[in-house]
Amino acid sequence: MNDPKELVVKVVELTGSNYQIGGLQAEQLRQESNWNGPYQNMEKNPDFNCFQAREKLNKVHPNILEEIYGLADGLGIDRNTAIEWYSGYNVIFPEMGCTTLVSDSFYVRNYDFSDQLYDARLVLMNPIKGYASIGFSQQIIGRLDGMNEKGLVIGLHFVNQMYKEEGFIATTIVRMVLDQCATTDEAIQLIKDIPHGYCYNYSITDKQGKGAIVEASPQKQIVKFATPLVCTNHFESEALKGKNRETIQGSLHRKDYLLKLIKQRLTPLSAYHSFNGNHSKLFFHHYKEYFGTLHTVVYLPNKLEVILGIGYDSDPLTISLKDWLAGKTVVPKAIKGNIYTNRVILVYSKIFFVKDEAYKC
């Protein structure tokens, strides 16, 4: 490997009405010279219907629509354009990988994607309407994973781009759940009520330690309750496993490794290091193939604390959502870590291999 690249994640604090929160984010974005580059260059869906997207948001979560309006007005762009960019409705998004282990007291996860398409934002939000939360954003409005003030934790796991229908991308769905749901059961019901655009798994737990995986396709959702549980990037139910990608060896390998980790009676910190180590079987450096580990995070629902790190072998940082809401803590402005972005890999039969192990699935 060559020299590592520094990855900087901004820590964003947001309070107020959803419209005000949108405006605050617009103000922050305007300080970046290329704030609109990712959206102007992203693949457009020719079937996008702004009226339909607005109608669905109004039905499922109108507060997000107000936040988008705040973004639009603050950025000086048309509101319809902002809905297309930020709503997560009927959009096209690349594949990604995620690995999660949930015990009765913590939720640990690696998020794998491209550093070029990563928001690199950890958001602490306390809206007037809806639950306060902490989580990593994607496309500003959406969340990759997070925990709210009720101790509800959720993260997404990409499964397949096939079998798509008009609906929301998983990042928007995770955000909707964090804003509105206090328990695993409430999260499951909301996920069933939301129109899905693609096939994803959602790993969930709450303050009571009730773990669940929702296998969600646009056509059907299947729920599996378990504590402890592990979740990667494939469906396992008989009803949905036919919707998996053709090759899921990497996802299966990671799941098998997680099942071994469960037996080790991990603490939150030992779980963090098991996921974050440079040579961990759960940490990947394949950023150009949308499968490089960007953050490791441990959510502690009972304490409302988060242990996190950016990149590999990162010293764990603890942030208390409870103390932040009470005004008892000061969070850093940014969190830094290192990643290797130029790892050379070989490609055979459309499956990526490193050391003879398929990982990209």
pLDDT tens, 138-192?
Answer: 999 999 999 999 999 999 999 999 899 999 999 999 999 999 999 999 999 999 9
Q: Is 151 left (phi over 0), alpha (psi -120 to 50) or beta?
A: left
Q: Is the dihedral of CA 277, 314, 145, 286 positive or negative?
A: negative
Cis bond leading into 127, ω under 30°?
no
Residue 3 pLDDT = 84
Residue 97 pLDDT = 87
pLDDT tens, 26-78?
Answer: 999 999 866 665 555 555 666 788 999 999 999 999 999 999 999 999 999 99
Residue 43 pLDDT = 57
- Which percentage of the chain shows pLDDT scores above 70? 91
Tokens of 76: 């000086």
pLDDT tens, 187-230?
Answer: 999 999 999 999 999 999 999 999 999 999 999 999 999 999 99
Q: Taking a C-beta distance cutoff of 8 angstroms, is the pair 351, 247 a contact?
A: yes
pLDDT at 275 over 80: yes
**Chain Cα centroid distance, residue 178:** 12
pLDDT at 359 over 60: no
Residue 156 pLDDT = 98
Residue 33 pLDDT = 67
Nearest to 243 by CA among 338, 355, 162: 162
pLDDT at 360 over 70: no
List, in order of start, the domains of the chain with CATH numbers.
95-358 (3.60.60.10)
Residue 34 pLDDT = 65
- Sheet of strand 153-160, all strands in order from the earlier edge strand to the far edge: 221-225, 212-216, 199-205, 153-160, 142-148, 133-138, 121-127, 5-16, 334-339
User: How far apart (Å, rounded) are the C-alpha atoms in residues 173 and 158?
Assistant: 13
Residue 91 pLDDT = 87
Q: Per-residue confidence at 351, pLDDT binned at 50, 70, 90?
A: very low
The 3-class SS string of the chain reads CCCCEEEEEEEEEEEECHHHHHHHHHHHHCCCCCCCHHHHHCCCCCCCCHHHHHHHHHHHCHHHHHHHHHHHHHHCCCHHHHHHHHCCECCCCCCCEEEEEECCCCEEEEEEECHHHCCCEEEEEEECCCCCEEEEEECCCEEEEEEECCCCEEEEEEEECCCCCCCECHHHHHHHHHHHCCCHHHHHHHHHHCCECCEEEEEEECCCCCCEEEEECCCCEEEEECCCEEECCCCCCCCCHHHCCCCCHHHHHHHHHHHHHHCCCCCHHHHHHHHHCCCCCCCCEEHHHCEEEEEEEEEECCCCEEEEEEECCCCCEEEEHHHHHCCCCCCCCEEEEEECCCCCCEEECCEEEECCEECCC
List, in sequence order, every residue forming a beta bridge with 148; answer none if it has no partner: 133
Mean pLDDT of the chain: 92
Q: Per-residue confidence at 94, pLDDT binned at 50, 70, 90?
A: confident
User: How far apart (Å, rounded) are the C-alpha atoms in residues 119 and 172?
Assistant: 14
Residue 354 pLDDT = 39
